[in-house]
């Protein structure tokens, strides 16, 4: 449900930076641990861009994997499940990445 607020912020951040330049494509990076659902962002994005300089712009979402470091053995691994277990058996994993929510680039005409 916060995807609506997220989409509004995407539009605002881009128009703040680029004024009324006509935007045709937005590339968004979404970490798989970010708590943001890409399909929900796509749905809300199409609503939020209406009547703005992003109207009709394509939205490309690049999903970034979650990575964590084990507190016991320091090994790094990709995590998908919130209850991930390190191959060493430890369950105390510190999330290092995968929480991104970033506008990587936009295409303007």
Applying CB under 8 A, among 10, 44, 59, 86 the residue interacting with other proteins is: 10
> Dihedrals φ, ψ of 107, to 5°?
-110, 125
Q: Residue 45 is encoded by which pair of tokens?
A: 């994005």
What count of other Cβ atoms lies within 10 Å of the Cβ of residue 44? Answer: 22
Give the x-and-dash track for 25-64 against other proteins (CB under 8 A).
x--x----xxxx----------------------------
Taking the complex as a whole, how short is the minimal distance between the CB of residue 102 and other proteins, in angstroms?
5
13 sits near other proteins (criterion: CB under 8 A)? yes
Distance between CA atoms of 20 and 15, rounded to whole angstroms? Answer: 6
109 sits near other proteins (criterion: CB under 8 A)? yes
């Amino acid at each position: 449900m916060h995807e609506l607020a997220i989409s509004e912020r995407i539009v605002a951040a881009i128009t703040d930076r680029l004024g009324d330049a006509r935007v045709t494509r937005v590339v968004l990076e979404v970490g798989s641990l970010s708590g943001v659902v890409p399909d929900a962002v796509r749905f809300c994005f199409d609503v939020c861009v209406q009547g703005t300089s992003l109207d009709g712009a394509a939205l490309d979402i690049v999903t970034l994997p979650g990575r964590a470091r084990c507190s016991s053995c320091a090994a790094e691994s990709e995590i998908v499940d919130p209850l991930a277990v390190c191959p060493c058996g430890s369950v105390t994993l510190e999330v290092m990445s995968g929480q991104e929510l970033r506008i990587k680039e936009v295409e303007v005409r």
